[in-house]
């Protein structure tokens, strides 16, 4: 495969708005959004940079206007990936200057707005073409001669936000420029055209253009692969249906939130491809899913059902006459898993079986167990992807998901390994210890516990470093004996806030009174309440508690 050619060159505005470029704003770009505050700041910066000296224009320090990123091959046609707001505002400024200068200079500025066809004005080549919805408006009221006079008479209340911004910024420029003499206007025009520069970064490849944009952009514009896919997909829908499908797309994006919506495409890719990503999500989605071949079906049959399922999982919003709370509880547990690899099978199964809550309870009971088991075993990403890929395939072909050989089920050796981890020094396993103890505490409270504390900490009953002359030294005579018990589940409790670290070494009775209770005297956690009922804390007590707690976890995740 040949390498993608990337070019970056600084050009004066005279070169940017010349026959070398015909800029087009793609469908995926947001509408023009600069307000009078941003447009006015740009103009004032330019006026300040020009100054009031009598230096020749060519001797004035150049002014840098930033970067623009283009998808552009050998021809002059260029799609604007980044730089729409600046290019549009500069075009408005050039048009405002044309309105303000004397008549003999109008033609100079017009050539930076469009290339004239003297025989057929309908064939004029405009330097900048906005998104389809605003393109004709921009030509008529900004780029064409006399357009700004017509613009002044338009009622803003009837304009879209983008057109209102165009109008208000134009009139702002015209009003500001009225304060200049004709000579000052010509000098400002020369400065903008000759001494103001843009760095133009271009590549013929949409994927690399997006990656370049992501690297150099830090202004929060948040262009994403979802925006580009929107253009690719909706652009292939017949024109008379585009508004309908644009609305569907944007309603789902708004419902999920922009970041969650972006991640949806990665999960859809996984559902379809069932393998670890090899290239960017943008390239793989376009190449492997081929959304442009049946764009309406992609939106109606894939994007919306999976997106709605994703929303219900993220917000625990599944609704049914029966079992909805049980299903939503599994969604809450799955949100605590330290990876998102479980999401594709979750949204696929929910979308396919939404109206069968009994099936959902059974499936998510086992998906919760699988995701928890892989997390406890610290399965790496390749192991997780392989397992969930097999599960996706099993869901799609209708395989029995509850047979012992199903990828949804834990194998016997996996159960044994999980139990070994749980029976070991759990406190030393930082990535899983809090998750396991919260799950355990909920099981002990019969699912009635809720966890809305800012800080949940794990504490030892037998301290890690007990005072030598304390009761702990009587119950645990040697360091070796303490090491055997101190970090195991049987010796751990949960607290809802941080405590004084020195208090960890209290004797047992004092620790129960001051360390393991709240202001009301009642612990928030079943795990901790158990300890409050004990009169002493010996190896025998910890052993018994260890066995009971492990047995409870065996029930939670069916590890027998």
* Burial of 235 per CB tally in 10 Å (0-12, 13-18, 19+): middle
The mean of the pLDDT values for the chain is 88
In this structure, the answer to whether residues 453 and 350 fall within a common structural domain is no
pLDDT tens string 429-475: 999 999 999 999 999 987 655 556 568 889 999 998 888 888 888 89
pLDDT tens string 114-144: 998 766 667 789 999 998 889 999 999 999 9
Three-state secondary structure of 103-116: HHHHHHHHCCCEEC
Q: Decide if 354 is inside a domain.
A: yes
pLDDT tens string 300-333: 999 999 999 999 999 999 999 999 999 999 999 9
**Cα 372 vs. chain centroid, distance in angstroms?**
24
pLDDT tens string 506-518: 788 887 777 777 6
Percent above pLDDT 70 for the chain: 90
In this structure, the answer to whether residues 429 and 553 fall within a common structural domain is yes
In this structure, the answer to whether residues 102 and 176 fall within a common structural domain is yes
Q: Decide if 342 is inside a domain.
A: yes
In this structure, the answer to whether residues 134 and 157 fall within a common structural domain is yes
Contact 53, 187 (CB under 8 A): no
* Dist. CA 432–CA 206, nearest whole Å: 41
- Radius of gyration over alpha carbons of the chain, in Å? 33
The residue written with tokens 């704003």 in the block is 25
* Dist. CA 21–CA 471, nearest whole Å: 84
Is the pLDDT higher at 286 or at 366?
366
Res. 410: pLDDT tops 60: yes
In this structure, the answer to whether residues 210 and 301 fall within a common structural domain is no
Domain end among 216, 237, 266: 216
Contact 368, 330 (CB under 8 A): yes
Q: Decide if 154 is inside a domain.
A: yes
Which pLDDT score is estimated for 67?
Answer: 87
- Average pLDDT of the segment spanning 234-238: 82
Q: Rounded to 5, what percent of the chain is helix, strand, coil?
A: 60, 10, 35
Which pLDDT score is estimated for 390?
Answer: 98
* Dist. CA 528–CA 549, nearest whole Å: 12
In this structure, the answer to whether residues 165 and 123 fall within a common structural domain is yes
Q: Decide if 2 is inside a domain.
A: no
- Angle 84-90-91 (CA atoms, 0-180°, nearest 5)? 90
Contact 379, 341 (CB under 8 A): no
**Cα 94 vs. chain centroid, distance in angstroms?**
37
Domain count, the chain: 3
Entry pTM: 0.70
* Dist. CA 393–CA 381, nearest whole Å: 18
Q: Which is nearest to 16 in space by CA: 251, 212, 199?
A: 199
Q: Decide if 103 is inside a domain.
A: yes
Q: Decide if 402 is inside a domain.
A: no
* Dist. CA 180–CA 170, nearest whole Å: 16
In this structure, the answer to whether residues 207 and 254 fall within a common structural domain is no
Contact 372, 439 (CB under 8 A): yes
Which pLDDT score is estimated for 504?
Answer: 64
In this structure, the answer to whether residues 187 and 47 fall within a common structural domain is yes
Res. 152: pLDDT tops 60: yes
Phi and psi dihedrals of 204, rounded to 5?
-80, -5
Question: Which sign does the torsion angle of CA 136, 137, 138, 142 carry?
Answer: positive
Q: Decide if 415 is inside a domain.
A: no
Classified as helix, coil or strand, 210 is: helix
The CA distances from residue 118 to 19, 115, 205, in Å, are 16, 10, 35
Q: How confident is the model at residue 1 (pLDDT cuts 50, 70, 90)?
A: very low
Domain end among 169, 189, 216: 216
Give kind and range of the element (H or E) at residue 202.
Answer: strand 196-203
Q: Which is nearest to 275 in space by CA: 259, 291, 287?
A: 287
Res. 221: pLDDT tops 80: no
- Average pLDDT of the segment spanning 3-15: 82
Give the structural domain span for 505: 424-557
Classified as helix, coil or strand, 154 is: coil
- Angle 186-191-193 (CA atoms, 0-180°, nearest 5)? 95
β-pair partners for 495: 457
Beta strands in 51-195 (DSSP E): 63-72, 77-82, 114-115, 125-126, 128-129
In this structure, the answer to whether residues 71 and 194 fall within a common structural domain is yes
**Cα 307 vs. chain centroid, distance in angstroms?**
14
Least confident of 277-286, 321-330, 334-343, 443-452: 443-452
* Dist. CA 460–CA 427, nearest whole Å: 9
Which pLDDT score is estimated for 236?
Answer: 82
Which pLDDT score is estimated for 247?
Answer: 87
Q: Which residues contact 65 (CB under 8 A, 6 or more apart)?
A: 13, 86, 90, 196, 197, 198
Contact 91, 127 (CB under 8 A): yes
In this structure, the answer to whether residues 432 and 501 fall within a common structural domain is yes
Is the pLDDT higher at 502 or at 69?
69
- Angle 405-410-412 (CA atoms, 0-180°, nearest 5)? 85
Helices (H), 178-205: 182-195
Which pLDDT score is estimated for 220?
Answer: 41
In this structure, the answer to whether residues 200 and 250 fall within a common structural domain is no
In this structure, the answer to whether residues 169 and 231 fall within a common structural domain is no
* Dist. CA 359–CA 318, nearest whole Å: 14
Q: Decide if 391 is inside a domain.
A: no
Domain end among 347, 365, 383: 365
């Amino acid at each position: 495969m040949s390498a993608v050619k990337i070019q970056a060159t600084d050009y004066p505005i005279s070169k940017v708005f010349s026959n070398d470029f015909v800029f087009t704003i793609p469908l995926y770009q947001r509408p023009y959004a600069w307000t009078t505050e941003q447009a006015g700041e740009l103009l004032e910066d330019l006026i300040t940079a020009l100054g009031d000296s009598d230096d020749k224009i060519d001797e004035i320090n150049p002014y840098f206007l930033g970067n623009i990123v283009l998808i552009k091959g050998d021809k002059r046609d260029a799609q604007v990936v980044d730089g729409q707001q600046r290019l549009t505002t500069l075009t408005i400024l050039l048009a405002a200057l044309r309105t303000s200068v004397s008549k003999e200079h109008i033609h100079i500025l017009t050539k930076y707005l469009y290339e004239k066809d003297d025989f057929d004005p309908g064939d004029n080549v405009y330097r900048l073409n906005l998104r389809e919805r605003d393109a004709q408006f921009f030509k008529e009221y900004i780029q064409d001669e006399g357009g700004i006079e017509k613009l002044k008479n338009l009622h803003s209340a009837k304009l879209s936000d983008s057109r209102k911004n165009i109008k208000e910024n134009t009139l702002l420029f015209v009003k500001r420029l009225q304060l200049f003499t004709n000579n000052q206007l010509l000098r400002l025009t020369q400065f903008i055209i000759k001494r103001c520069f843009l760095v133009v970064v271009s590549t013929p490849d949409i994927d690399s253009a997006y990656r370049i944009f992501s690297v150099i952009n830090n202004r929060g514009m948040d262009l994403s692969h979802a925006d580009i896919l929107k253009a690719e997909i909706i652009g292939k829908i017949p024109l008379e249906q585009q508004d309908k499908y644009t609305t569907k797309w944007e309603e789902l994006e708004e419902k999920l939130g922009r970041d969650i919506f972006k991640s949806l495409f990665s999960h859809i890719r996984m559902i379809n491809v069932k393998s670890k990503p090899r290239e960017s999500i943008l390239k793989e989605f376009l190449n492997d899913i081929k959304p442009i071949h049946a764009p309406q079906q992609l939106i109606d049959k894939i994007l919306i059902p999976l997106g709605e399922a994703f929303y219900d999982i993220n917000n625990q919003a599944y609704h049914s006459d029966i079992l909805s709370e049980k299903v939503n509880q599994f969604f809450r547990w799955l949100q605590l898993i330290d990876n998102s690899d479980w999401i594709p099978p979750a949204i696929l199964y929910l979308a396919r079986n939404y109206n069968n809550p009994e099936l959902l309870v059974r499936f998510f009971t086992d998906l919760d167990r699988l995701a928890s088991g892989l997390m406890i075993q610290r399965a790496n990403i390749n192991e997780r992807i392989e397992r969930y890929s097999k599960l996706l395939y099993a869901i799609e072909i209708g395989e029995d998901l509850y047979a012992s050989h199903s990828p949804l089920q834990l194998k016997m050796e996996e159960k044994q390994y999980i139990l070994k981890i749980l029976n070991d020094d759990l406190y030393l396993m930082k990535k899983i210890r809090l998750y396991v103890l919260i799950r355990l505490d909920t099981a002990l409270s019969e699912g009635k516990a809720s966890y809305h504390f800012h800080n949940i900490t794990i504490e030892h009953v037998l301290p890690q470093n007990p005072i030598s002359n304390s009761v702990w030294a009587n119950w645990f005579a040697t360091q070796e004996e303490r090491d055997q018990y101190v970090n195991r589940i049987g010796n751990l409790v949960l607290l809802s806030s941080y405590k004084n670290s020195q208090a960890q070494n209290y004797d047992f009775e004092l620790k129960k009174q001051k360390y393991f209770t709240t202001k009301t005297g009642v612990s928030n956690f079943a795990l901790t309440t158990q300890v409050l009922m004990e009169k002493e804390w010996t190896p025998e007590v910890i052993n018994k508690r260890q066995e009971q707690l492990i047995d409870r976890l065996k029930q939670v995740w069916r590890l027998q």
